[in-house]
């Protein structure tokens, strides 16, 4: 598939079959307190339980498995604040490829160390002073490697959508049909894949993007009808969701399919992290908590509805996690 071709529902289905032997099929969780607080029937997809601790392994594995043998010889390169880097390093190890990961110098240490454990080469860079796409292109040229970007790639998007396929199937098995699905959103790869999965498997389900305050480029772009970039001045708490702007491919997928976008504050994020830990027994990183935060804050209306939410990752430094309980 060309990297300029938009993936389809069929691509998500194919990705699900391709990656199934290599990922965890995370469960669907229910919690009576969550239902009572929101007035709805809530189903949770807990991707902190995924290998590498986030949903990113799905897309990275799909993309890696689709590379031809000759391409694999050169290895892969990406830029990532951590979760995609870990995932691509893991996927590269699976197929015997070298991986080079450009990571912001302020990336959480737990993500850097985990990426190193998979055997990847780490190239640190200044998040605010270096163009990460240009850096990745330079590294790929030097190494004869292939770039697998964090979100704006059709095979990555299709792989991420397998998360929603699983959740929809589990909900159906429980006799439930989702009225809405709230998804943690950065560059839009996860929600793009989810939107494709929903379109094919549950077209009546509204898909909502949830972002951190100050990094709500998707919500603003959807309302404007064109891509709007962040100014980069927002807080960095949700490090996994700090994309500069929606991807070209992801926005082309998401603009006609999403119901809209909402954002959450740091206090709402911390409240969601506490709830996940205390009641769901899940360690959720800040960026992975935003969909739950929006639900608890009433920004995604669940009254009388069946709503799915994604907890997208759990790779959080202990010091940051402790702030949620301070």
The set of catalytic residues is: 56, 312
DSSP 8-state code for residue 22: G
β-strand partners of 125 = 104
Which residues have a Cβ under 8 Å from the Cβ of 253 and sit 6 or more positions away? 6, 7, 157, 188, 192, 195, 196
Which residue has tokens 């709230």?
182
Dist CA 318 CA 304 (whole Å): 37
CB contact at 8 A, 181 and 194: yes
Q: How far is CA 139 from CA 4, 109, 155, 242, in A?
A: 21, 22, 21, 22
Radius of gyration of the chain (CA): 18
CB contact at 8 A, 168 and 9: no
With H, G, I as helix, E, B as strand and everything else as coil, classify residue 123.
strand
The two three-digit tokens of residue 265, written as one number:
């504050």
With H, G, I as helix, E, B as strand and everything else as coil, classify residue 218.
helix
CB contact at 8 A, 102 and 77: yes
Q: How far is CA 163 from CA 179, 292, 294, in A?
A: 17, 16, 19
């Amino acid at each position: 598939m060309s990297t300029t071709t938009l993936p389809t529902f069929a691509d998500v289905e194919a990705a699900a079959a391709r990656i199934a032997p290599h990922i965890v099929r995370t469960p669907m969780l229910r919690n009576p307190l969550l239902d009572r607080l929101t007035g709805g029937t809530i189903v949770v997809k807990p991707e902190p339980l995924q290998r590498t601790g986030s949903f990113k392994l799905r897309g990275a594995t799909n993309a890696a498995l689709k590379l031809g043998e000759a391409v694999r010889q050169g290895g892969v390169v990406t830029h990532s604040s951590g979760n995609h880097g870990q995932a691509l390093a893991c996927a590269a190890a699976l197929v015997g490829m070298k991986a080079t990961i450009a990571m912001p110098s302020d990336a959480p240490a737990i993500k850097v160390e985990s990426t190193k454990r998979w055997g990847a080469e780490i190239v640190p860079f200044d998040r605010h002073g270096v163009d990460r796409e240009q850096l990745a292109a330079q590294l790929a040229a030097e190494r004869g490697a292939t770039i697998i970007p964090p979100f704006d790639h059709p095979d990555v998007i299709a792989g991420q959508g397998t998360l929603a396929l699983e959740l929809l199937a589990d909900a159906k098995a429980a006799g439930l049909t989702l009225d809405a699905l709230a998804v943690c959103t950065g560059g839009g790869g996860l929600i793009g894949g989810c939107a494709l999965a929903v379109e094919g498997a549950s077209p009546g389900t509204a898909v909502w993007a949830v972002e951190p305050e100050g990094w709500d480029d998707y919500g603003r772009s959807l309302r404007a009808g064109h891509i709007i970039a962040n100014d980069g001045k927002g807080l960095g708490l949700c490090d996994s969701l700090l994309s500069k702007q929606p991807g070209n491919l992801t926005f082309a997928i998401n603009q006609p399919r999403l119901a809209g976008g909402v954002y959450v504050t740091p206090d709402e994020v911390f409240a969601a992290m506490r709830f996940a830990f205390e009641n769901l027994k899940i360690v959720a990183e800040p960026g992975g908590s935003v969909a739950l935060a929006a639900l608890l804050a009433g920004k995604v209306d669940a009254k009388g509805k069946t709503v799915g939410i994604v907890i997208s990752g759990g790779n959080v430094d202990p010091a940051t996690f402790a702030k949620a309980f301070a």
